[in-house]
Amino acid sequence: MKISIINKICAALSLGAIATTIFTIPASAAPAIHYGQKGTYTINDDGSYRGCLYSGGCIVLGKKYRMKSLGWEDESMRWKKGEYVYSMGEGYITVYKNGRVIFEDDALSR
């Protein structure tokens, strides 16, 4: 029994699609969403950040704004855009402008 070249190509593409699905789905992690008294703060699996206040307004910082950690003991994540630094740690969010705290909120993961 001969298999046509088209059937071989379709079979190869089907196997490739199955393999791609198997290997990419587990790599997609759900974002970490933190709910505070003043807003919601989301950290995506690619390291990007989105903060939205209940009173209105959001900021989205891509992974290019992510700062390196200060050391192995540092559990917070930081993003810097211009004169602002956004720091997200276990249970809190703090925003600094030129090194001074201008915003704080307690944030619990859900």
pLDDT at 16 over 60: no
In whole angstroms, give the CA distance from residue 110 to residue 100. Answer: 29
Please write the tens of the pLDDT for every residue from 62-102: 999 998 876 655 578 899 999 999 999 888 999 999 999 99
Please write the tens of the pLDDT for every residue from 49-66: 999 999 999 999 999 999
In whole angstroms, give the CA distance from residue 27 to residue 18. Answer: 15
- What are 40's two structure tokens? 């919601």
DSSP state of 84: E
Q: Are 75 and 59 in contact (CB under 8 A)?
A: no
| 33 or 12, greater pLDDT | 33
According to the model, what pLDDT value does residue 57 have? 94
Residue 20: band (very low, low, confident or very high) from pLDDT cuts 50, 70, 90: very low
Task: Tell me the domain boundaries of the chain.
Answer: 32-109
